[in-house]
Amino acid sequence: MRIVIAGGHGKIALLLTRLAAGRGDTVVGLVRNPDHVQDVRDHGGDAVVLDLESAPAEQVAAALAGADAVVFAAGAGPGSGTARKETVDRDAAALLADAALVAGVRRHVQISAMGLDRADDPGMDAVFAVYLRAKDAAERDLRGRDLDWTILRPGRLTDDPAAGAVALAESVEPGAVSRADVAAVVLALLDDPGTAGLTLELVGGDTPVAEAVQSLPRTRAE
């Protein structure tokens, strides 16, 4: 499988690159900073320098040409202001979906976040509220597209080693999950076209990743 990852230098993206490349997949990470190309290569992938905050859809589509699947793993990251929450977490997600349609790449996994309905909670940090709304807008945009999409909402992310066991369903209790386990779940979802059309929540749990994905409701005949 040829996989293109937007936000290719992120922690989850690099872990996903290593997992996929390690089993023989071809992985291309889209990165904004040329200094990050070697890191992607060190994890077994290749990299294309592309700024998803400014590139036209046609340019992004060219980078997706020949892909079997795309993953949106980009994010403005901690410390960024409200403007970049919108230009990256919302607008870049829509741009990638636009480009996937142009390039004819139907399989699409978007990494989102749990708790998007908390944006208006009393005392919510203003910047984080914009982040939550941006992720929510990106999800709603993707659901309206003619793509084989799956949306994955991880809980609080940690850098712990992969446990190999998770709780994965349309709704789970809030909790934490390692980035390594998120990467493993993304790869398993990419392998399973029957999970298209699902919005899933993910935290650490007791079910092995492969079993957790296999037990999900099927959205289409296999």
pLDDT in tens, 7-38: 999 999 999 999 999 999 999 999 999 999 99
How many Å apart are CA 89 and CA 26, to the nearest integer? 25
- Say whether pLDDT at 203 is over 90: yes
What are the C-alpha distances in Å from 128 to residues 78, 134, 157?
Answer: 9, 10, 15
- Position 37 scores a pLDDT of 98
Strand partners, 49: 31
- Position 77 scores a pLDDT of 73
Strands, E assignment, the chain: 2-6, 26-31, 46-49, 69-72, 107-111, 148-154, 156-158, 165-169, 176-178, 199-204, 207-208
Diameter of the chain measured on Cα atoms: 48
* Active-site residue, from 61, 131, 149, 152: 131
Catalytic residue status for 131: yes
Question: Is 31 within 8 Å of 56 (Cβ atoms)?
Answer: no
Kindly report, residue by residue over 87-130, the tens digit of the pLDDT: 888 999 999 999 999 999 999 999 999 999 998 899 888 888 98
φ, ψ of residue 157 in degrees (nearest 5): -85, 140
